[in-house]
Amino acid sequence: CSLLRSPKGFPKLKNDTFLRAARGEQTEHTPVWCMRQAGRYLPEFRETRASQDFFATCRSPKLCCELTLQPLRRFPLDAAIIFSDILVVPQALGMEVVMVPGKGPTFTEPLKEVEDLLKLRQKVDVTAELGYVFQAITLTRHSLEGKVPLIGFSGAPWTLMSYMIEGGGSTTMAKAKSWLYRHPEASHRLLRLLADVIIDYLVGQVAAGAQALQLFESHAGHLGPELFQDFALPYIRDIAQAVKSKLKEEALPLVPMIIFAKDAHYALRDLAHAGYEVVGLDWTIRPQEARAQIGKDVTLQGNLDPCALYAPKEKIGELVKKMLESFGTQRYIANLGHGLYPDMNPEHVGAFVEAVHAHSRHINKH
């Protein structure tokens, strides 16, 4: 089993700019990658995915590897992120999720009552339930041939809980938030169960070859400061701490961890001290303000409005230059403030990536 836990013989890493920036070391240029860089904006992605059910694709290591590599064939990105979905964790707990065209992910039986928690697996063997993600990571790490580091990820507990109760996307999260007010104890039970699975899942990803980890608290914006403090932050902190201590115990590499809590600018100070090397930002905060709140010991990531990529290419270059001047080129990883949208022009994504490299090199020289 121990051999399975730590596949050896990975190709030597040629471009470690992303990892160095994450750890706060000097870099010649600012590294850049995009959330949802393996996605529907690429015609080759749509072609690969055409005949397959979405979650069947997630369960195929070969397809996940191919989809992860596609954007890297086009753009000089500084990191790859494994193609998967945050909802594989609720699936591991025994919930059924289907991808409905035009609607998105849909739970056939969302959690309605506290009693429904009993239907969930209370003990999850992540290798048995999510081994296909680990296989995809190992295969992709080899296939990358050391070109760039590979990022693994998971959804955070509150974001997953909200999907499990809402049964899909929601503009208000009213059903899930009503649990926080009506059933605080049961909510904590569910969040704890999710956190425990996420911890094992993230450690398993590193064992499989992931070189960095990102935790997506995509629905943080639906919580105010108090609810975030009670129902999101403790688990975000706990995940960082537990993952790191388990990596040490299992003699696995201590990889940089990124927390991305969308729309949670009210919590940046707390997130700066939550145990992550990198804090991801959406586009709703000024870079200087974020830097002031986060301090100098944590790397920042992101912040360009994804819709900026609809602008003409020259304009994208100007916006990138301004962003780099605001954040500074060091202790910074360029990214968007959210994922790429399906109708974006791949050439504009290329313009974004190239502008980050060109402008950051120029700023560093002068």
Instruction: Identify whether 192 is a catalytic site residue.
Output: no
Query: 16, 20, 41, 49: which one is catalytic?
Result: 49
Instruction: Identify whether 181 is a catalytic site residue.
Output: no
Instruction: Identify whether 200 is a catalytic site residue.
Output: no
Longest dimension (CA), the chain: 63
Instruction: Identify whether 266 is a catalytic site residue.
Output: no
266 DSSP assignment = G
Q: For residue 80, give the nearest of 144, 19, 133 by alpha carbon.
A: 144
What span, in angstroms and rounded, lies between the C-alpha atoms of 153 and 77?
18
What span, in angstroms and rounded, lies between the C-alpha atoms of 234 and 19?
26
Q: For residue 261, give the nearest of 300, 289, 297 by alpha carbon.
A: 300
Helix 174-182 × helix 184-208 angle, to 10°: 120
What span, in angstroms and rounded, lies between the C-alpha atoms of 307 and 336?
9
Query: 36, 59, 291, 331: which one is catalytic?
Result: 36
What span, in angstroms and rounded, lies between the C-alpha atoms of 175 and 193?
19
Instruction: Identify whether 237 is a catalytic site residue.
Output: no
Report helix, strand and coil shares of the chain as percent, to nearest 5: 55, 10, 35
Query: 5, 74, 85, 192: which one is catalytic?
Result: 85
DSSP H or E stretch at residue 98: strand 97-100
Query: 163, 201, 276, 332: which one is catalytic?
Result: 163
Query: 5, 40, 74, 192: which one is catalytic?
Result: 40
- Is 199 within 8 Å of 246 (Cβ atoms)? yes
84: buried, middle or exposed (CB in 10 Å: 19+, 13-18, 0-12)?
buried
Would you tell me how many other CB atoms lie within 10 Å of the CB of residue 185? 8
Instruction: Tell me how far the alpha carbon of residue 5 is from its chain's centroid.
Output: 22
- State the catalytic residues: 36, 40, 49, 85, 163
